[in-house]
Amino acid sequence: MYDIKELYEAESVRDAIRLRLEHPEAQIIAGGSDVLVQMREGKRAGKELISIYTLDELRGVCLDMEDNLRIGSLTSFSHLTKHPLIRQHINVLGEAVDMVGGPQIRNIGTIGGNTCNGVTSADSASTLHAYEALIELTGAEGVRRVPIKDFYLGAGKVDIRPDEIQTAILIPKASYENTCGYYYKYAMRNAMDIATTGCSVNVRLSPDKQTFERVRVAFGVAGPVPMRAPGAEAAAGGQPVSAETAEAFGLAVVGDINPRDSWRASKAFRQHVAVEMARRCLVESVKRCGGELK
C-alpha cells in the first residue's frame, strides 16, 4: 500500500500548472518508477500527488521549425530508444536510456522524470549534457528554456519553479548535426544497476576524417551533478585523429571531474576508470563517424 494523501490528475499542461499553484507541497508524478518506490520506503509518505501521466501532448519526438530535436518529457525510455529520429540523429541517447533498469522500468519511466530527479547517476544525464540540451519549463508566466548545465543546481536539486512543469527537452541542431557519440556505463552488474560512473562522448570530424573539429564529453557520478569536462574537450578539439590524442584526452579528464568516495566506489577508483572510459568512448565515437585512429 502507498501512503498517498491525495491524487490529482491534470487534464492539460495549463491544468497541471493550476494544480501546482493550488497545492504547492504536492509532488509531480509521471511514470512513478521513482516516486512510488520512494513512497513505499517512507521518504514521501503522506504526500499529495499531481499526475501528468495522461498528458499525451508531452509525449513523442519531433524536429521543430529550426530542426532542433524536441523530446516530450513524458516520452518513455523504450519509445526513445526505438524512435527513428533518435536513431538517425542521436542514437547514443537511445542506447544510454536502454541501460536504465529492466524492460518494465524502461516502458514506464520517462526522460522528464530521469532529469527532474536531479541525480548525477541518471543514465540520460551525461549524454544530454554532452549534447548541450535545453530544458523546457512551462509555468504561469509562460515558457522558459534552461541550459541543462544550469538546470542541475545540486545533488537532487533542479531549477523548477513552484508553478512549473517540465514539458520538453531540446537538442540543438548545432549540437547533434554531423556528430556521432558513445556512452559507457560502469556498474557492478550488466543490468538493473545504478552507474558507478557514466561517460558520454560525441565527436565531429573534419571532412577528411583526420582532425577533431569538435569534441564533447560529460560524466555522471563524477561530482554532485552531471558535468562536462572542458579541459579534456580542449585537449582533443582541433587535434589529429590519433591514438596520442585519445590518450591525452583521457588523461585530461582527471583535472575536470570531482567524484566522491561512496560505498559503491572510492574517489580514486572513479578517477582511474574515468580516464579509460573517456578514451574508449572517444575511440568508439570516431569509428561511428567513419574515422580511424592512426
pLDDT in tens, 37-59: 777 777 777 788 999 999 999 99
pLDDT the model gives residue 260: 85
pLDDT-based confidence at residue 237 (cuts at 50, 70, 90): very high
The mean pLDDT of 205-224, rounded to a whole number, is: 96
Q: Given a cut of 60, is residue 283 above it in pLDDT?
A: yes
Q: Is the pLDDT of residue 291 over 90?
A: yes
For the residues 179-183, what does the mean pLDDT come to? 98
165: nearest Cα among 66, 26, 68, 7: 26
Q: Which residues of 134-167 are buried (b: 16+ CB within 10 A; e: fewer)?
A: bbbbbbeeeeeebebeebbeeeeebebeebbbbb
- Residue identified by cell 509562460 is 142
- pLDDT at res. 294: 82
- Strand 27-29 and strand 47-51: pairing? parallel
What pLDDT, on the 0 to 100 scale, is given for residue 94?
Answer: 95
Q: Mind listing the domains of the chain with CATH numbers? A: 4-51 (3.30.43.10), 60-174 (3.30.465.10), 182-288 (3.30.390.50)
Question: What is the spatial distance between Cα 157 and Cα 34, in angstroms, rounded to a whole number?
Answer: 15
Cα 102 to Cα 191: distance, rounded to the nearest angstrom: 7
> How far, in Å, CA of 39 to CA of 289, rounded?
44
Residue 272: per-residue pLDDT? 93
Q: Could you tell me which residues are beta bridge partners of residue 201?
A: 182, 217
28 Cβ contact partners less than 8 Å away, ≥ 6 residues apart: 16, 20, 49, 50, 52, 116, 165
Closest CA to 217 of 141, 285, 145: 285
pLDDT of residue 1: 57
Q: pTM here?
A: 0.94
Reply yes or no on whether the pLDDT at 226 is more than 90.
Answer: yes
pLDDT band at residue 98 under the 50/70/90 scheme: very high
65-97: burial string, b at 16+ Cβ within 10 Å, e else: eeebbbbbbbbbbbbbbebebbeebbbbbbbbb
Q: Which long-range contacts (CB under 8 A, 24 or more apart) does 77-82 make?
A: 77/105, 77/106, 77/107, 77/109, 77/110, 77/111, 77/114, 78/103, 78/106, 78/107, 80/111, 81/106
pLDDT over 70 (residue 126): yes
Per-residue pLDDT reduced to its tens digit, 104-115: 888 888 999 999
Number of residues that make up the chain: 294
